[in-house]
Structure 1
């Protein structure tokens, strides 16, 4: 597990380790990682994985299912039955992302202050109710699909950024992408389930005098509410209060999270390996200050990562919202198109988990993110250059198999490089919130009048992917340069002019912090 297995002396900062909610973890001032060497670290990780990941993955599966099932409902007759035009349909997709983006930062700040085991299921009940009510919409105005999608964005806004941040409160930088991928792979599984469920539920056409597409919304919304009530009893809050840990295990998890990302030197008799006198390792600050939120909004790396995020999320939502339509317009029936989405999503889910594991093992993010962006270029180039149904299907298959592994990669890459839990909370919410405006754009890429080639849509995807590659390269070059500069500053004695409190407040801007790329 990287630094956890190194024989390294680390000295606790004087403020101790405080819990995020009730309780307090007290760690002796002379505590080191070697103090926990007798613990089975792999067993502790397994405990966390089994208690956290399955439930979180189920929540996100339902979230992604509920936001994307409108694409399945469309080819089952939604637009014809409520008499909305293709442009009105695209607006229903677009408005979701406006409210979704607007409420993500406030939700993440609330998550840190409130109990995740209460906040996350509560918003889940809310969007489940909205989803169920979408099954009774009558038209574009009045009992309106547009209004329902606006409220779906409000209620779903807190889940994905909340869980992405919540996982960083449990796992270190070297472990997090694998867990993010396990969680996010639920999105690709949702895509597969969406096609299968839509195929099955559409057979209920006429039951209760309701069309089959209405039952898609109603049944999936009810399932969300039922799982939400179950989640109230299954979710945990933070490591400091986790009842499935022993007291010593809680102390170990808190300790290793508090000092991750900081430079650590091997020490002999108080002297660092470079010959200097070692100073106490600086803990990442946990006390809330609006300064950390302002730092997030002013941080260049967040805005650069948003451009990379757009290069991934525009294709993601292009696939999620329009894949059944794209396949149907190749000449297949609606039922066949639903089923043909399944192997795409299953393969993408497997690849997301496999490559996340490899990324954590090698401790690198950028080679995978950039590599998958290049793979998307190939996939969409196949789609835009051919009218052969098999080539187009192979192109979207290849693109999807790159999108789903790349997405947890960019989320994890930024979270690895934001220090201080409140800045990380605001920064990740900002990345995901502004980044998901890419979904609003992608909602309008694939216009009905461009069928079946969708040259404009595929071309716009290629443009955003190319911009994402450029931004990713800029991030790599910048991170490498900053790390080298900080190494020189420490060798020149710059540590002597900074107090531990100053370094703690600086977080990832401290000269002891090293960016991961």
Structure 2
């Protein structure tokens, strides 16, 4: 039988090559040694179709997620603090409570994503937070605001890590960073888009709701509508992509196994079962621990920037509407930087060096904030912070995703990373206090200190990866092939698996 179009086979001597018409598309019948290489043209066609049918939905869901969590900063400038009598640190507390449940649901949410199906799960939690976000427009008291922020965090908690895990179920390791960049650049874009939208919505006065409530009403309602439509279009796994042919579905799944080398046959998302061993292997891992702590530090400046940029710019002497509009340029620059750095990262197949560069750039921005007293220079500093910090978040997430396998190990590790990382929000929400206005020197100094630790953690993790990859190349990890469970169950511990640096 001749090979079908789309791939070539290199089966073992004496073994029959596998053809498309002999394949059960729901189960890969090949063994790790059966190198069935996907034709580059077919691979490109699959990737292009995935990009077209998945990335736009993921992008807009994350855009709406970031708008719905950070629009409280826009509402603050339009009278939220005055109307709800948020004296002292009450506003900062309202920001912080969002992350209490947010960080607790990450890991179980990633487990549920597989059970429910990624397309349905991500859409459903978006509908849930859209309902809560809409309700925030009707709050009349501090207690009501706290309750809504808690519920909003519970609903949004599974989205960030869920999207990363979801994309890793469709894309190869060094295709992943650019796709993460595409979705994550919605975060800084939300600052630009949210600022423009809030400027218009704050002018609405209707039925006793004046200004800021309409920011929540309209933006929450948009989320509900978009997520409801996404529920019917997002697929769960490559074999369930209706926009792929049967041949393309099989190759979309198989190319992931080839991409993971020794971890290949374990990366069968639809057939792999949960085990506490996978949880242990995921959590007691140098990469998981180091990159989770690094993510914690990275999110301190990112969250404080997203939540307090309107206040920082207002402190430079600009009025509310003008301050809202001035949040747009630095956020748009961050959007462009995330796209550019993500593309570069996949091309050079590196994450760590780009984190070092981005953190250094952001450090310049905070130094300008602290050292200068001129509003123009301080405002210029926000551009350095935005351009340097926002790309670091998808970089460190893709870095860990690249270095974990198979599915449940990756799901647990990413959930843990997002949970630990988002604890940085508890620091971020109290970095810029009202009594420190208008200079906010203490907040800038805290963020600068976090960046110094980011540089240390990143450099240290790069050194560990170089050492471990060298050990595997020299055969020092070959003894793992004789361990119980066989080579199929080794995942990232397989001697042929190489960490991304």
TM-score past 0.5 threshold: yes
- Residue 210 (structure 2) pairs with residue 192 (structure 1): no
Corresponding residue for residue 21 of structure 2: none
CA distance in 1, matches of 2:392, 2:7: 30
- Matches of 1:496 and 1:444 in 2, distance apart? 49
The CA deviation at 1:508 is: 1.0
Aligned-partner Cα distance in 2 for 1:496–1:56: 38
- 8 Å CA contact 2:62–2:183 kept in 1: the answer is yes
Secondary structure of the equivalent of 1:444?
coil
Map 1:426-505 to 2 at 5 A. Answer: 426-489=412-475, 494=479, 497-498=482-483, 501-505=485-489
Asked if 1:306 is matched to 2:292, the reply is yes
Assess, with a 3 A threshold, how the Cα gap between structure 1 residues 483 and 222 changes in structure 2: closer, same or farther: same
**1:28 CA drift (Å):** 4.4
2:228 match:
229
Mapped pair 1:32 → 2:35: yes
1:351-382 C-alpha deviation (Å, 9 max, x unpaired): 11111111101111111111101111111111
Contact 1:307 1:467 in 2 (8 A): no
Shift, 1:506, TM fit: 2.5
- CA deviations 1:148-183 (Å, max 9, x no partner) are 100100011111111111000000111000000000
Q: Counterpart in 2 of 1:381?
A: 367
Give the C-alpha shift of residue 25 in structure 1: 3.3
Q: In 2, Cα distance between the equivalents of 1:418 and 1:363?
A: 16
Matched, 1:344 2:347: no
Please, which moves more after superposition, 289-298 or 463-472? 289-298
Q: Is the 8 A contact 2:186 2:335 kept in 1?
A: yes
Alpha-carbon distance between aligned partners in 2 of 1:97 and 1:496, rounded to the nearest angstrom: 42
Q: Is residue 320 of structure 2 the alignment partner of residue 334 of structure 1?
A: yes
Counterpart check, 1:412 vs 2:398: yes
Q: Tell me the equivalent position of 2:62.
A: 60
Distance 1:495 1:412 in 2: 26
Indicate the SS of the match to 1:93: helix
> Counterpart in 2 of 1:370?
356
How many Å apart are 1:408 and its aligned residue?
Answer: 0.8
Provide the secondary structure at the position in 2 that maps to 1:259: helix
1:79 to 56, 78, 81: 81
Partner of 2:120: 118
In the alignment, which residue of structure 2 is the partner of 1:275?
A: none
- The answer to whether the 8 A contact 2:296-2:420 is kept is no
User: Residue 136 and residue 282 in structure 1: after superposition, are their counterparts in 2 closer, same or farther (change >3 A)?
Assistant: closer
CA contact (8 A) 2:256 2:264 kept: no
User: Any unmatched runs of 5+ in structure 1?
Assistant: 17-21, 264-279
1:73-152 aligned within 5 A: 73-141=75-143, 144-152=144-152
Whether 1:156 and 2:162 are equivalent positions in the alignment is no
Q: Secondary structure at the match of 1:233?
A: coil
Note the C-alpha offset of 1:88: 0.6
Q: Distance in 2 between matches of 1:458 and 1:318?
A: 10
Residue 388 of structure 1: how far off its partner (Å)? 1.1
Q: Is the 8 A contact 1:96 1:440 kept in 2?
A: no
TM-score of the pair, normalised by structure 2: 0.92
Distance across 2 between alignment mates of 1:318 and 1:38: 43
| TM-score, normalisation: structure 1 | 0.89
State the match for 2:15 in structure 1.
Answer: none
2:71 pairs with 69, 83, 102, which one? 69
* Aligned twin of 1:257: 256
> Would you say how many aligned residue pairs link Structure 1 and Structure 2?
482
Shift of 1:498: 4.9
The answer to whether the Cα contact below 8 Å between 1:311 and 1:466 also exists between their aligned partners in 2 is no
- Label 1:26 to 1:415 Cα distance change in 2 as closer, same or farther (>3 A): closer
Query: What's the secondary structure of 1:476's corresponding residue?
Result: helix
Equivalent in the alignment of 2:410: 424
Q: Is contact 2:28-2:254 (8 Å) kept?
A: no
Match of 1:277 in 2: none
1:494 Cα deviation (Å)? Answer: 4.1
Q: How far off its partner does 1:58 sit?
A: 0.5
- Compute the displacement of 1:200 (Å): 0.5
Q: 1:391 to 1:10 in 2, by over 3 A?
A: farther
Question: Does the aligned pair in 2 maintain the 1:27–1:251 contact within 8 Å?
Answer: no
1:508 aligns with 492
Distance 2:280 2:479 in 1: 26
Cα displacement (A) at 1:209? 1.4
Alignment RMSD: 2.3
Shift of 1:403: 1.4
Deviation at 1:472, TM superposition (A): 0.8
Q: Residue 246 in 1 paired to residue 245 in 2? A: yes
Deviation at 1:6, TM superposition (A): 13
1:407, CA displacement in angstroms?
A: 1.2
